[in-house]
Structure formats: structure tokens, C-alpha cells
Amino acid sequence: MIDMSLFLKSTGIGLAVAAPIGPMALLCMRSTLTRGVGRGLAIGGGIASADAIYATVAACGLAGVSEFALAYETPMHLAAGLFLVYLGLKSLRAEAGAAERTIAPGQGLAKDYSTALLLTLANPPTIVMFAAVFAALAPSAGFRPLDALATVAGVFAGSLLWWCLLIGAVGALRRSLGGAAREWIDRLSGVVLAGLGVVELRRGLG
């Protein structure tokens, strides 16, 4: 039987991991404001899935996967940084309302999901953090398969819950904003995304 207390603790961990505002949160809020709730949910789902993947690696003690990810941490940061800079510059160069005119509802969801998944996976130290937390949560005899399932499911549920709450709040704000306001927010978020991309590049080169 799945340990519900372990599931609830892991849900709290998933919430705590997802809550800090960073490049992925900004990307999610920007997409929700300028392209709609569906696009934001696709990005939130990708982030939550990446958290669940790293939680699986940590809970199952997959040392080989952890070592591989950490060994390639530098190129991952460089790739993530370049892509964030690209997204930022793309926002700055976009014509007013172009995203809403050219993207029909339902289009691009898979692309948004995969982009968010890969960008979130480009932060291998997350494995180390999950491993440390799970070491504190694990029973003295270690995780059983059902315990590992409870922790991973809890992390995914907590992370997804946070993104749904954030997207719901931003989506409500979107309805009260005009097209001009959304355009300016898109441009501002582009500047911030590009800046965060530069930070990632410096992490990779440092």
C-alpha cells in the first residue's frame, strides 16, 4: 500500500521546488499572459514532468544517471542560457499582437511542453537536492518500490499544483489587460529572459 504520509510530504517538496520565481516561472507567466492558459499549462506540465524525472532518479538511487547529468552540467547550462537569450530576443523582436494572430488555440502545446521539459532538465543539481531530501524522508531500511512511487507522484502533484495555481492567477489577470499592456509585458519579460539567459551562460562558463 502506498504511504500517504510520504506522498503528502513529497507533495510539499514538489511545491517548494516549483515555487521560487526563476526563468521557468517567468516563461510560464509570459506564455499565459500573451498566448493563453493552455500554453501556460503546457509549460507547467513540462516543468512538473522534469521535476518528477529528477525525483525518480533520486528516489531510485540511479547513480549512473546522476553522474552522467552532473558530468554534463556545464554544456547543459550553456544550452539553456543560449535558448533563454533566444527566447528573450524573440520576444523583443515580435510584432505587436503577432503571437495571438498567428497561433491558433491548441497549436504549439507539444512544443511548449517539450521546451519546458528540456530547459528544466538542464539543471542537474536538482538531482542532488532531491537526493538529500529523500535521504531524510526514507525509512531506515530504504525506499521500497511503492515508497519511491509515492515520492515521485507526490513531487509531480505538488509541482503541477503550484503551476496550476500560478497559471490560474495569471490567466485571471490576462482577462483584465488589453492587448497593448500584454505587448509591453511580453517585451519586458523578453528583456528579463535574455538577462537570465546571460546568467545561465556565466554559470556554464564559470
Domain borders along the chain are 4-205
Please indicate, yes or no, whether the overall pTM of this predicted structure exceeds 0.95.
no
pLDDT at 139 (0 to 100): 57
Going from the first residue of the chain to its last (206 residues), give the mean pLDDT of each consecutive group of 10, the final group possibly shorter.
Answer: 80 88 87 88 95 85 67 80 85 58 60 91 78 67 73 92 94 78 76 84 78
Amino acid at 28: C
Q: Positive or negative, the Cα torsion across 40, 48, 10, 75?
A: negative
In angstroms, the CA 121 to CA 170 distance is 24
pLDDT at 161 (0 to 100): 96
In angstroms, the CA 164 to CA 44 distance is 7
CB 14 within 8 A of CB 157: yes
pLDDT at 169 (0 to 100): 92
In angstroms, the CA 124 to CA 142 distance is 23
